[in-house]
Amino acid sequence: MGKVRVLKIVGITAVSILLLIIDINLPLGLAIGISYVLIVLLGWFLNNVKAPIYLAILSSFLTFIGFQFSFKVESHLWIIITNRILTIISIWVVGILLYKIKLKTNKVKKVNHELDVKLTQLRIKNEQLEQFSFIASHDLQEPLRTIISFVKLLEKENNFDSESRKYIKFISESTNRMTDLISSLLEYSKIGANPELKLIDCSSLMSDVVHDIDSKIQAYDAEIAYEKLPKLFGYEIELRQLFQNLISNAIKFSKKEEKPKIVVRSSKKDNHWLFSVSDNGIGIERKYFEKIFSVFQRLHAKNEYEGTGIGLSNCLKIIQLHKGEIWVESKAGEGSTFYFTINQSI
Ligand code: ADP
């Protein structure tokens, strides 16, 4: 038995004896009865779920012993009996209630513990999966480079007929695509590997992003507007990538007949910042709102809009790193707004 547990039991026994001595020697009536309830309440501090019931039995027993001596100090029998009956009722009401509360609390504790264990298992599995995708994509690059070098050699050969040249071209295109996919998977697995938390000025981060993608902005004749954005705690490299992905997508998925107009907004909500990136582009059907955040999920053929389908998965991972949420609201043909939150208690 643990030392603390022994101390608790000794304490409760001492309180019980003290109350019994007072009960026997003083005519306190109902006041002493209520004090017996106190013994039951002390059961809260014992680990045993049934402790309040055991203490209710002990308190009832003490009440009965006290009753034997009450005649010496009190005169009216009906008062004595009423006091004792009320005491026993109070003891058992409190005892049963406390037992039920302890039972519920124990269940909640058990569920919480199971949840903690599951969460740890999930975290480990997630780390293993990330390690796996890193190793797989990293190691796949090497044989792929060899294939690309040999395909290049084949392309230089003059001995092939036009049919064979067509096949070599297919192989070359597929290997290039595979290189893109593998490097984006590698990039995805590296997100948050060495994050550095610091105070970031989102306005200057945005102007850096706009500067970085200037050629794309010029090519599409895009307009990008943003109000004064906040200074917040976050991971700079990752946040920069997030803004860049969302704005690049907003430009890329614009309507052919309209020049892209993008607005970035922010507002403070409790302990997080809410951002939105709105565009006047092609929009997204509601049924794809979740799917687009999965790895390699695209809604268009590569010849329509270039890309690998990893951009929004990166965004989701970056937002998870910031303990926030990301979602989209859109209507096909009427533009999209991507929302995300950045928690400030990370
Ligand atoms: P990628 O841009 O390489 O295709 P993403 O993961 O960034 O991959 O996006 C997944 C899909 O979500 C895109 O293929 C596109 O169909 C859709 N999407 C993303 N952003 C927008 C947007 N601003 N407007 C319309 N569709 C979008």
Position 17 scores a pLDDT of 85
Average pLDDT, stretch 259-284?
Answer: 95
pLDDT(8) > 70: yes
> Which single residue is written with the structure tokens 């740890």?
120
User: Would you say the CB of residue 312 lies under 6 angstroms from ligand 1?
Assistant: yes
Distance separating alpha carbons of residues 278 and 337, to the nearest angstrom: 4
Q: What is the pLDDT of residues 310-327, one digit of tens each?
A: 999 999 999 999 999 999
Indicate the residue type of 34: I
Atom number of ligand 1 nearest to Cα 313: 6
* 203 Cα: distance to centroid of ligand 1 (angstroms): 24
Q: What is the pLDDT of residues 238-253, one digit of tens each?
A: 999 999 999 999 999 9
Chain-wide mean pLDDT for the chain?
Answer: 90
Average pLDDT, stretch 325-335?
Answer: 95
Position 300 scores a pLDDT of 87
Average pLDDT, stretch 284-304?
Answer: 92
346: closest CA among 322, 316, 319, 315? 322
Distance separating alpha carbons of residues 148 and 143, to the nearest angstrom: 9
Determine which residue's CA is closest to atom 1 belonging to ligand 1.
309
